[in-house]
A = this chain, B = another copy of it.
């Protein structure tokens, strides 16, 4: 399938067939795509918690405005962003050529050191890139997804035993769609969201 078709087929889906499952082997194949997402300095600021246990899903649902797809889908994922991802740099660059490693490690430390807002921004930014890869890779495997931001992050962090060096970035369910797709929701046109040369520039048209 061409990528444009995949983009057109992907929609946020809220109704799932609760009788179907996704195995560890299937999940692993999905994540083999996800980990190839880009990230700043290749720091891979993402970690995913995959929840299939009914008790934990029930608690997550309660912490997420009662959204039923959390219980009905076979897997609920919490996409986490790592606030101290830059501390993994020595490990990530361990096998890089020495010239690269010697340039990158001090650059990374300088970029992130004592930058409280930046490390949060980066955790969200890079984990979101991976989340988008996940949604397309899932769709390409015949699964649907629903990204969610409507949840209590502190409650979710407690349920999933998240340590303070991580933040919840997004919840996502993955599964088999039950009902027919809904009509696609409204999108702002390209001519509105793409501006030429500056924010005040002309909108992009094909004429």
Task: List A residues at the B interface (Cβ < 8 Å).
Answer: 1-4, 6-8, 10, 12, 24-25, 27-28, 31-33, 35-38, 40, 42, 44, 46-53, 56, 80, 88, 92-96, 111, 120-122, 124-126, 128-129, 131-133, 135-137, 139-140, 147, 149-150, 159-163, 166, 169-170, 184-190, 193-201, 204-207
Contact of A48 among B133, B187, B194 (CB under 8 A): B194
Given contacts A4-B137, A10-B36, contact A31 B128 (CB under 8 A): no
Given contacts A31-B190, A37-B132, contact A49 B198 (CB under 8 A): yes
Residues of B within 8 A of A166 (CB): 199
Residues of B within 8 A of A201 (CB): 49
Contact A6 B3 (CB under 8 A): yes
This protein's copies in its complex: 2
Given contacts A12-B38, A125-B124, A129-B128, contact A95 B47 (CB under 8 A): no
Given contacts A3-B3, A36-B187, A96-B185, 10 further A-B contacts (CB under 8 A): A3-B33, A3-B137, A7-B137, A10-B38, A12-B38, A27-B204, A48-B194, A49-B195, A80-B199, A95-B186
3 cross-chain pairs, A with B, having the tightest CB-CB distances, nearest first: A132-B132, A128-B128, A3-B140
Contact A136 B3 (CB under 8 A): yes
Residues of B within 8 A of A188 (CB): 35, 44, 88, 92
In whole angstroms, what is the CA distance A4 to B29 when docked?
10
Say how far A34's CB is from chain B's closest CB, in angstroms: 8
Say how far A157's CB is from chain B's closest CB, in angstroms: 9
Say how far A50's CB is from chain B's closest CB, in angstroms: 6
Given contacts A46-B193, A197-B52, A204-B24, contact A3 B4 (CB under 8 A): no
